[in-house]
Amino acid sequence: MKFETVIGLEIHAQLKTKTKIFCGCKTSFGDEPNTHSCPVCQGLPGALPVLNREVVKKAIRAGLATNHTIRKESVFARKNYFYPDLPKGYQISQFELPICEKGYLDIVADGNKKRVGITRIHLEEDAGKLIHDQDIDSLFDANRCGTPLIEIVSEPDMRSSEEAYQYLTGLKKILQYLDVCDCNMEEGSLRCDANVSIRPFGETKLGTKAELKNMNSFSNVKKAIDYEVERQTELIENGKIVVQQTFLWDANKNITIAMRSKESSDDYRYFPDPDLTTLIVTDKMIDEQKDTLPELPKDKEKRFSEQYSLDNDAIAVLTETIEIADYYEKTAKLCGNAKSASGWILTDILKILKEKQCELGELKTTSEKLAEIIKLVQTDKISASAGKKILAAVEETGKEPQTLVEELGLSQVSDSGELKTIMEKIFSENPAEVERFKSGDNKLTSFFVGQAMKESKGKANPKEINRIIGELINS
């Protein structure tokens, strides 16, 4: 029997705010344990939460950019469970009335366009962190308690691991564009749980799902889904049934490990948090975010394709972040050649970024300086290979390209008088070659150009040399 894969994703994204969701503690990652905590986020009895306004703004932004309806009234609820990383014994989340509802994201997977429904985006707080890999007992760090999260819950609309991968990639790009989340999966600021089931093709009822957790990269999400689909298919083909369970992905062994049977929402005894009032969102708050949304990835990609005639691979890289897109557009505008700007960034600038392991903003080669180098090459002031040398020198010293051209003596000789003198010398030294050339052996052109380059120490403009060779031979 042939089975269809059904996938729904739950994504937790840490909001990029200075302070936590219900107290004034800092949200910094990697600091000394338990240095950012207070009675509220430690869950001391009687301490009262106060909602951080910035968190609401960011959730609205995320909702708008993914086509959601923003609820004018939403409610915080307590999700009750015991775990040592949760001092209060409950997590403040949203349940029945989340801040954003009914959104979607358009993706392209395996060449097909597809719309993935998003059920909701709700606000919640993160739990603390347990540190297990110590000699002594497990340790607890409260720094992460109360870190603001949005949970983005998709409809079970995806039909392959590739669709899940594209959905994740698309969502990540949007969240980064919005500056809502830094999406660093290693630091846990973006986490994804995948719900996976299978069913016979044609069946409309959903099959029993397994929940996959602990995947710290998108490629692991893909691998885990593929593994799970295979496991479920084998079970059903052997007359067994899939039980609802939660699995951890083991990235070293490439297998999933059963963790626990999945609890249902009834087990959490959700109820509205009496410490927090209904969250009221006004039209003004929504408009404020609408008015300040950046150009979103899909729009930018489309514009780059139309405005600069770039191919899809170039567009994917040049719109990866707003920073690289801005850097590209500025360079293209300043040098007046969109194609060259793209070429230089895709090869040379990316290489420098990789070598230096740094961000675009930290480069000494600003878009102004890169544009200057491109112009020097295009106007034949320097050769293409000299351009690469100048780029390396700019990145090293931060000096102006023109200054470096002079300092390094790399300016190209295009002066026809000077080049003619050089060529005449070469011709008089190589009379046999001149004869052969005159009788039609065109291969000798490259020989003469090579000689001219040698004579000029690489500074002769090859285009001009070619022209002069023709001129002299014909005269």
Nearer to ligand ADP, 7 or 335 (CB): 7
Q: Closest distance between Zn ion and the C-beta of residue 12, in Å?
A: 19
Q: Give the count of residues interacting with ligand ADP (CB under 6 A).
A: 17
**Of these partners, Zn ion, ligand ADP, none, which one is at the site of residue 38 (CB under 5 to 8 Å by kind)?**
Zn ion
Q: What is the pattern of x (binds Zn ion, CB under 5 A) and - over residues 41-80?
A: x---------------------------------------
Chain residues 25-44 in contact with Zn ion, contact rule CB under 5 A:
25, 38, 40-41
Q: Closest distance between Zn ion and the C-beta of residue 271, in Å?
A: 23
> 148, 164, 161: which is closest to 12 by C-alpha?
148
How many Å from the N-terminal Cα to the C-terminal Cα in the chain?
Answer: 82
Nearer to Zn ion, 17 or 195 (CB): 17
| Secondary structure, 3-state, 224-269 | HHHHHHHHHHHHHHCCCCCCCEEEEEECCCCEEEEEEECCCHHHHC
How far, in Å, are 373, 420, 425, 451, 453 from residue 447 at the CA level? Answer: 29, 16, 14, 6, 10
H or E stretch at 313 = helix 312-318
Piece in contact with ligand ADP (CB under 6 A), picked from 71-79, 101-109, 192-200, 355-363: 192-200
> 274, 218, 327: which is closest to 46 by C-alpha?
274
> 67, 65, 46, 49: which is closest to 57 by C-alpha?
65
**Of these partners, Zn ion, ligand ADP, none, which one is at the site of residue 41 (CB under 5 to 8 Å by kind)?**
Zn ion
CA angle 471, 472, 475 (to 5 degrees): 85
Q: Closest distance between ligand ADP and the C-beta of residue 215, in Å?
A: 15
Q: Closest distance between ligand ADP and the C-beta of residue 180, in Å?
A: 20
Using CB atoms within 10 Å of the CB of residue 284, give its burial: 0 to 12 exposed, 13 to 18 middle, 19+ buried: exposed
Of the candidate residues 17, 27, 74, 154, the single one contacting ligand ADP (CB under 6 A) = 154
Of the candidate residues 44, 48, 50, 206, the single one contacting ligand ADP (CB under 6 A) = 206
Piece in contact with ligand ADP (CB under 6 A), picked from 4-12, 57-65, 71-79, 343-351: 4-12
* CA atoms in the 13 A half-sphere facing the CB of 105: 34
Q: At what angle do helices 444-455 and 462-474 cross, to 10 degrees?
A: 120
Interface residues with Zn ion (CB under 5 A) are 23, 25, 38, 40-41
Which residues of this protein are in contact with ligand ADP, per CB under 6 A? 6-10, 153-156, 195-197, 206-207, 209, 262, 265
